[in-house]
Amino acid sequence: MDLRGASAESVAALTEELRSAVADAPDKAAPAADSLFAVADALRAEPGLRRFATDASVPDEAKKGLVADVFGKLDGTAVALVTSAVQRRWTHAGDLADAAQRLSEIATVLSAGKDGDRLSDELFAVLRTVQDNPALRDALAEPARSTADKGALVDSLLDGRALPATVTLVKRALEGTYGTVSAALGEYRRLAAEVHGEGVATVQVAKALTDAELERLTGALSRQYGRPVHVNVVVDAALIGGIRVAIGDDVIDGSIASRLDEARRRLAG
């Protein structure tokens, strides 16, 4: 979700308002998330509504009245955020809907409370499962299947096994906002870490790391990138040995397999 200029500034300010609103009561975050997602859907479905809500020439009182009339029955925290949002500046009218969705996603992450690390790990596990299971990936992407049907499939896979926040975000991934389910899950995983001030790294190794090795690696990456890094480990015997780290756009490939490939290329050249 690429919000720039005034829209990015507005989302940053609204995010702080959201954090403050649920700081002492994390249980308020989940209902706020559901309502904010409904707001995003309504704004996308009604061009006239979003144009009115983002028109700088419309008095703030009129915009606040609109929010009360259209969204007044939704969660109070969400309504307060939307009321604040329509009084802010937006680069494009469509950015308001994207902002409501991003705030919904952040609220869902905050609803996990102290289980933030578990949320990141569960999102990564679901992402890996989808990527490694073509039948599941196709079932979740099948245009002929309804979103409700796909949601029921998610429930059958995760109900009782994952945090409510994880289930919510996996279902949101079905909406297609980020193109594919895998792309959405990758974005949510990154966001889950970012909300807690962390970076996120995928580490591939030939054999499982010990707790001490994982702790040293996490510490080294955190020092290198200047902030805490949440690490997910994938064991891949094809690497033979060594390690491959992907964090953001950076890839650090020190695996034996990659060295052998490089040696073969040099010999072939």
Domain stop point among 61, 90, 111: 111
Taking residues 162-172, report their average pLDDT: 96
- Does position 41 have pLDDT exceeding 50, yes or no? yes
Helix intervals (H) in the chain = 5-22, 29-45, 47-54, 60-71, 76-85, 95-111, 116-132, 134-141, 147-158, 164-172, 181-195, 211-225, 256-268
Domain count, the chain: 3
For residue 254, the enclosing domain spans 199-268
Residue with tokens 């992450």: 109
- Pairwise CA distance, residues 4 & 202, whole Å: 28
Q: Convert the pLDDT of each residue in 197-237 to its tens digit.
A: 999 999 888 888 899 999 998 999 899 889 999 999 989 88
Same domain for 179 and 226, yes or no, is no
- Pairwise CA distance, residues 106 & 169, whole Å: 10
- Does position 251 have pLDDT exceeding 90, yes or no? no
Same domain for 93 and 26, yes or no, is yes
Same domain for 213 and 168, yes or no, is no
- Pairwise CA distance, residues 120 & 192, whole Å: 6
Same domain for 10 and 106, yes or no, is yes
Q: Convert the pLDDT of each residue in 58-99 to its tens digit.
A: 999 999 999 999 999 999 999 999 999 999 999 999 999 999
Same domain for 123 and 176, yes or no, is yes
Q: Convert the pLDDT of each residue in 120-151 to its tens digit.
A: 999 999 999 999 999 999 999 999 999 999 99
Would you state the pLDDT for residue 158?
A: 94
Would you state the pLDDT for residue 5?
A: 93
Lowest mean pLDDT among 1-5, 9-13, 192-196: 1-5
